């Protein structure tokens, strides 16, 4: 018997099929039936929702998050649960918290803080360590209630340090014995329920002390030993963050060899750096070749430019590089704002260039054409050159630093400036548009839970609907059905989660009911709601009329209901 009927919905079921009007019938945690609109019986049903005019989709599946610590203290798994996400996969980019020898706890915290900009004080206070091995870590987080489902990957950084100690942390070469033990522990993690393995090979990823993530320089023999163990178990995604400059030439050969010999699915992060703006085209061509050879290689692309939200409360902003600011940077914010309003200090910040060999000019003044004022609730992730700080300042006949200073000190120090550093080399999102349509790319890189002081991308699932389907003006839009498919069934299938991501009989009743016309965002802000008062940028979604996880309503008009049906996912399903 049905306990929920959602009637007259604009159903986009996650398969990529055209939108249709339908009734969705739910029994317990499963979808019982999908009927023509208005035909599903309601007599005897526990609840009926009239979804006339509302969009109904599967719950979103975000495969690139960093909640590895946060899931130990935050049952709501925010910001993902604010944006229609019902399943997340964490443990990406080679960083995590298991396995963890007791004397490595502080080191793992410093590694995560450095790579993912999660406050170390929050991690130190928030994590209650109760594990050493990765299976024990899964057991601990499995006992805790939460709003949405989580899946975990075992990360190369903690694995290497656990097996090799200081040698592993220092990126020394692994011995045959080291490789054998790493393979054994990865297999053990997968059998206990891990969804994959992750590593990082980019020089951008460094610990708080500036050290490369363990595994950055791992040779082919080490990577092969891990992949072979994964192949023997029979499931798991091999995810990694590459050095983009080396990806097509140095990284691709071992990826192809690995995929061919082990059959393991490889998922590689791809962005467009300004230093190599066409590398993504090379990758798409290589993906086509891999597909022709039947090799399971995909590339994760973000749905928008990846950049920094500068604010005085954040991790980085343009004033940090000027001595007139550093003199007062440690003052409490109200006193700091008073000091920054001092006429002489303003003059120095606006007109004086530091005697630093041109560094300030290079990293700030020369970048004013790549900075945009954040004005309003949403951030314009496809801004025009005419609206940049440099262009606006030129039209007004004022120094660009005057606009920067005035914006950052506005709203009691909460004023923000946006600057992209990936995926905006062309000055628009045409690269993202093309990559999003490629059959071998996957939606990823929201980094939800991470980069707390500089990036606010956990709301990317909402952005995909608002910008790409509804609001874009600087180029073609994307089909609604494709965007929904891309962040539901397609991402779920990548990790073998075939019981979700699709509104179809017998599958999980993870469902969003969305006011598509009213979908949007709250004003981004810096919140101090992590343990120990740690900071993070937050931006809530608007327009989520209802959300269901396993048939239980978890969201009611953008607010959590307090229900906790989420669970740890152990392996593919």
The pLDDT tens digits of the residues spanning 150-159 come to 999 999 999 9
Residue 530 has pLDDT above 90, yes or no: yes
Residue 52 half-sphere exposure, CB side, CA atoms within 13 Å?
2
Are residues 256 and 153 located together in one domain of the fold? yes
Q: Report which of 560, 558, 561 is spatially closest to residue 544, judged by C-alpha positions.
A: 558
Domain that includes residue 34, residue range: 4-58+515-560
Buried b (16+ CB within 10 A) or exposed e, 525-562: bbeeebbeebbbbbbbbbbbbbbbbbbbbbbeebebee
Give the C-alpha separation, 347 to 133, whole Å. 56
Q: Summarize pLDDT for 419-451 with one digit per residue, the tens.
A: 999 999 999 999 999 999 999 999 999 999 999
Are residues 373 and 268 located together in one domain of the fold? no
Does some domain include residue 187? Answer: yes
Does some domain include residue 138? Answer: yes
Does some domain include residue 506? Answer: no
Q: Report which of 211, 91, 208 is spatially closest to residue 158, judged by C-alpha positions.
A: 91
Give the C-alpha separation, 159 to 156, whole Å. 5
Q: Which of 422, 443, 458 is the last residue of a domain?
A: 422
Are residues 248 and 361 located together in one domain of the fold? no
Q: Report which of 303, 305, 306, 244 is spatially closest to residue 269, judged by C-alpha positions.
A: 244
**Average pLDDT along the chain:** 96
Are residues 478 and 414 located together in one domain of the fold? no
DSSP state of 4: E
Residue 132 has pLDDT above 70, yes or no: yes
Does some domain include residue 505? Answer: no
CATH number at residue 483: 3.20.20.140
Evaluate whether 563 touches 481 at the Cβ level (below 8 Å): no
Res 398: pLDDT: 98
Give the C-alpha separation, 149 to 128, whole Å. 20
Pull the structure tokens for residue 296.
């399971």
φ and ψ of 140, to 5 deg? -65, -50
- C-alpha distances (whole Å) from 331 to each of 121, 180, 335 are 20, 52, 6
- Per the listing, tokens 């709301």 go with 459
- Per the listing, tokens 């995926």 go with 423
**Residues above pLDDT 70, as percent of the chain:** 99
Give the C-alpha separation, 550 to 554, whole Å. 10
Structure confidence at residue 42 as a pLDDT band (50, 70, 90): confident
Does some domain include residue 38? Answer: yes
Structure confidence at residue 358 as a pLDDT band (50, 70, 90): very high
Q: Report which of 4, 3, 11 is spatially closest to residue 514, judged by C-alpha positions.
A: 11
Stretch 526-542: mean pLDDT? 96
Are residues 29 and 158 located together in one domain of the fold? no
Are residues 452 and 470 located together in one domain of the fold? yes
Q: Summarize pLDDT for 500-517 with one digit per residue, the tens.
A: 999 999 999 999 999 999
Are residues 366 and 260 located together in one domain of the fold? no
Res 45: pLDDT: 66
- C-alpha distances (whole Å) from 366 to each of 24, 146, 353, 389, 400 are 55, 46, 12, 11, 10
Pull the structure tokens for residue 373.
């004022």
CATH number at residue 51: 2.30.40.10
Q: What angle do CA 399, 401, 405 make, to 5 degrees?
A: 130
Q: Summarize pLDDT for 94-108 with one digit per residue, the tens.
A: 999 999 999 999 999
Residue 43 has pLDDT above 80, yes or no: no
Res 378: pLDDT: 75
Evaluate whether 408 touches 312 at the Cβ level (below 8 Å): yes
Res 375: pLDDT: 87
Are residues 273 and 330 located together in one domain of the fold? no
H or E stretch covering 126: helix 120-126
Are residues 365 and 334 located together in one domain of the fold? yes
**Residues above pLDDT 90, as percent of the chain:** 96
Number of structural domains (the chain) is 3
Are residues 264 and 344 located together in one domain of the fold? no
Q: Which of 405, 422, 439 is the last residue of a domain?
A: 422
Residue 2 has pLDDT above 90, yes or no: no
Does some domain include residue 415? Answer: yes
Give the C-alpha separation, 456 to 321, whole Å. 23
Evaluate whether 156 touches 162 at the Cβ level (below 8 Å): no
Does some domain include residue 568? Answer: no
Q: Summarize pLDDT for 233-276 with one digit per residue, the tens.
A: 999 999 999 999 899 999 999 999 999 999 999 999 999 999 99
Q: Summarize pLDDT for 274-322 with one digit per residue, the tens.
A: 999 999 999 999 999 999 999 999 999 999 999 999 999 999 999 999 9
List the alpha helices (DSSP H) in 421-555. Answer: 430-437, 460-463, 480-486, 489-494
Are residues 154 and 35 located together in one domain of the fold? no
Does some domain include residue 105? Answer: yes
* Partners of residue 55 on adjacent β-strands: 10, 514
Q: Which of 497, 524, 539 is the last residue of a domain?
A: 497
Evaluate whether 462 touches 487 at the Cβ level (below 8 Å): no
End-to-end CA distance of the chain: 25
Q: In whole angstroms, what separates CA 323 from the centre of its chain?
A: 34
Are residues 209 and 125 located together in one domain of the fold? yes
Rg over alpha carbons for the chain, rounded to the nearest Å, is: 24
Give the C-alpha separation, 311 to 454, whole Å. 8
* Burial bucket for residue 15 (CB in 10 Å: 0-12, 13-18, 19+): middle
Res 41: pLDDT: 86
Q: What angle do CA 498, 232, 442 make, to 5 degrees?
A: 40
Q: Summarize pLDDT for 460-496 with one digit per residue, the tens.
A: 999 999 999 999 999 999 999 999 999 999 999 999 9
């Amino acid at each position: 018997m049905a306990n929920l009927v959602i009637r007259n919905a604009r159903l986009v079921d996650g398969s990529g099929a055209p939108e249709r009007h339908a009734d969705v019938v739910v029994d317990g945690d499963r979808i019982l039936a999908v009927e023509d609109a208005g035909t599903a019986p309601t007599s005897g049903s526990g609840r009926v929702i009239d979804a006339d005019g509302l969009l109904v989709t599967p719950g979103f599946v975000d495969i690139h998050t960093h909640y590895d610590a946060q899931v130990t203290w935050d049952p709501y798994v925010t910001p993902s649960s604010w944006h229609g996400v019902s399943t997340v996969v964490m443990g990406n980019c080679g960083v995590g918290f298991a396995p963890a020898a007791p004397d490595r706890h502080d080191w793992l915290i410093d590694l995560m803080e450095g790579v993912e900009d999660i406050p170390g004080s929050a991690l130190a206070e928030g994590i209650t360590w109760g594990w050493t091995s990765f299976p024990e870590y899964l057991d601990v987080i499995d006992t805790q209630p939460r709003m949405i489902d989580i899946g975990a990957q075992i990360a190369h950084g903690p694995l290497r340090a656990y097996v090799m100690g200081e040698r592993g942390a220092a990126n020394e070469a692994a011995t045959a014995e080291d490789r054998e033990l790493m393979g054994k522990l990865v297999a053990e993690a997968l059998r206990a329920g891990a969804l994959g393995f992750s590593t990082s090979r980019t020089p951008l990823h460094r610990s708080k002390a500036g050290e490369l993530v363990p595994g950055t320089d791992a040779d082919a023999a080490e990577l092969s030993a891990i992949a072979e163990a994964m192949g023997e178990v029979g499931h798991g995604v091999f995810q990694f963050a590459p050095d983009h400059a080396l990806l097509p030439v140095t990284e691709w050969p071992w990826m192809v060899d690995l995929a061919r010999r082990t059959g393991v699915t490889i998922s590689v992060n791809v962005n467009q750096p300004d230093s190599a703006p066409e590398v993504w085209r090379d990758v798409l061509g290589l993906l086509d070749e891999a597909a022709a050879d039947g090799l399971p290689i995909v590339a994760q692309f973000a749905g928008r430019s990846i950049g920094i939200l500068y604010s005085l409360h954040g991790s980085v902003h343009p004033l940090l590089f000027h001595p007139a600011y550093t003199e007062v940077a440690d003052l409490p914010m109200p006193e700091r704002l008073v000091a920054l309003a001092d006429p002489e200090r303003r003059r120095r910040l606006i007109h004086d260039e530091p005697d630093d060999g041109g560094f300030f000019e290079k990293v700030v003044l020369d970048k004013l054409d790549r900075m945009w004022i954040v004005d309003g609730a949403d951030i314009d992730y496809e801004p025009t050159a005419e609206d940049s700080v440099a262009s606006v300042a030129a039209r007004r006949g004022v120094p660009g630093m005057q606009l920067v200073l005035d914006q950052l000190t506005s709203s009691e120090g909460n004023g923000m400036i946006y600057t992209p550093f990936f995926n905006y080399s062309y000055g628009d999102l045409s690269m993202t548009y093309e990559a999003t349509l490629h059959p071998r790319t996957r939606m990823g890189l929201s980094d939800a839970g991470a980069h707390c002081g500089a990036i606010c991308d956990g709301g990317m699932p909402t952005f995909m609907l608002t910008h790409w389907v509804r609001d874009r003006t600087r180029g073609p839009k994307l089909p609604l059905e494709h965007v929904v498919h891309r962040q539901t069934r397609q991402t779920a299938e990548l990790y073998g989660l075939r019981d979700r991501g699709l509104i179809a009989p017998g599958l999980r009743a993870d469902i969003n009911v969305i006011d598509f016309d009213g979908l949007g965002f709250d004003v981004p802000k810096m919140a101090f709601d992590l343990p120990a008062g740690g900071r993070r940028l937050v931006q809530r979604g608007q327009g989520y009329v209802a959300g269901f996880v396993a048939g239980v309503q978890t969201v009611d008009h953008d607010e959590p209901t307090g229900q906790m049906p989420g669970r740890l996912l152990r392996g593919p399903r």
